[in-house]
Amino acid sequence: MARVLLTTPRSDGFRMPAEWEPHSGCWMLWPERSDNWRRGAKPAQHAFAAVAAAIARGEPVTVCVSPAQYVIAREMLDPAIRVVEMTSNDSWIRDCGPTFVVDDKGAVRGIDWKFNAWGGLDDGLYFPWDQDDLVGEKVLELERDDRYAPDFILEGGSIDVDGEGTVLTTEECLLNANRNPNLGRADIERMLRDYLNVDSVLWLPKGVYLDETDGHIDNCCRFVAPGEVVLTWTDDAGDPQHAISAEAFDLLASMRDAKGRALKIHKLHQPSPVLITAEEAAEVDHVPGTLPRQAGDRLAASYVNFYIANNAIVLPVYGDPQDARARQTLAALFPTRHIITLPGREILLGGGNVHCITQQEPRGRPKDVGKRAA
Q: What CA–CA distance (Å, rounded) separates 119 from 241?
A: 23
DSSP element (H, E) containing 109? strand 108-111
Cβ contact 339:327 at 8 Å: yes
Cβ contact 286:292 at 8 Å: yes
Q: What angle do CA 329, 172, 211 make, to 5 degrees?
A: 55
Question: Active site includes 356?
Answer: yes
Q: What CA–CA distance (Å, rounded) separates 369 from 366?
A: 9
Q: What CA–CA distance (Å, rounded) separates 207 from 210?
A: 9
Burial 112-131 (b: 16+ CB within 10 A, else e): bbbbbbbbbeebbbbeebeb
Of 26, 173, 221, 356, the catalytic one is 356
- CA 216, 221, 224, 226 torsion-angle sign: negative
Q: Report the catalytic residues.
A: 356
